[in-house]
C-alpha cells in the first residue's frame, strides 16, 4: 500500500510578512489566497470575501480577525468562520507548512468550518 505525500505549493517567504499583516498570493488556476502572520503563527485562507467580491488582503486585521474592506464584515483568520455581519458564510482555510523560511500549503486540504 502506497501513501501519497501531500503536494505542497509555495506561497511566499515567511520574512515577507510582519506580525498582523496579510499578503495576497495569486496562483494559476485557483482563486487568490490570503497569507496572514499573527502572533501565534501563519495562516492561509481564500482571499475573496464570501459576502461580496472583495479582497480580504485589502482589509484590516484586529484581534485575530480580518475585516472585509467592502461592508466591514469579519472572519476569524484561524478558523475561517464569519464573525461579523453582513458576512455569514465562512471562508476556506488551508494548512500551513514552513520549510527553509518559506510558507507552503496543500491546496487539496482546504476546509470550510461550520459557522456556529
Residue 5 is predicted with a pLDDT of 57
Number of domains making up the chain = 1
Task: Give the pLDDT band (50/70/90) at residue 4.
Answer: low
For 55-99, the pLDDT digits (tens) are: 999 999 999 999 999 989 999 999 999 999 999 999 999 999 999
For 35-47, the pLDDT digits (tens) are: 999 999 999 999 9
pTM: 0.91
Instruction: Look at residue 28 and tell me if it is in a domain.
Output: yes
Instruction: Look at residue 82 and tell me if it is in a domain.
Output: yes
For the beta carbon of residue 19, count every other beta carbon within 10 angstroms: 10
Which residue range forms the structural domain that includes residue 33? 9-109
Instruction: Look at residue 2 and tell me if it is in a domain.
Output: no
Instruction: Look at residue 92 and tell me if it is in a domain.
Output: yes
Query: CATH number for the domain including 31?
Result: 2.102.10.10
Instruction: Look at residue 33 and tell me if it is in a domain.
Output: yes
> What distance in Å separates the CA atoms of residue 3 and residue 32, rounded to the nearest whole number?
29
Burial of 28 (0-12, 13-18, 19+ CB in 10 A): exposed
C-alpha cell recorded at residue 76: 476569524
Instruction: Look at residue 4 and tell me if it is in a domain.
Output: no
Amino acid at each position: 500500500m502506497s501513501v501519497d505525500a501531500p503536494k505542497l505549493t509555495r506561497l511566499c517567504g515567511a520574512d515577507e510578512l510582519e506580525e498582523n499583516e496579510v499578503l495576497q498570493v495569486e496562483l494559476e488556476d485557483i482563486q487568490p489566497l490570503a497569507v496572514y502572520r499573527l502572533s501565534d503563527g501563519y495562516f492561509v485562507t481564500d482571499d475573496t470575501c464570501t459576502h461580496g467580491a472583495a479582497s480580504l488582503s485589502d482589509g484590516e486585521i484586529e484581534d485575530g480577525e480580518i475585516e472585509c474592506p467592502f461592508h466591514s464584515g469579519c472572519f476569524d483568520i484561524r478558523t475561517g468562520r464569519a464573525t461579523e455581519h453582513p458576512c455569514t458564510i465562512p471562508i476556506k482555510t488551508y494548512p500551513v507548512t514552513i520549510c527553509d523560511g518559506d510558507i507552503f500549503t496543500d491546496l487539496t486540504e482546504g476546509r470550510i468550518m461550520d459557522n456556529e
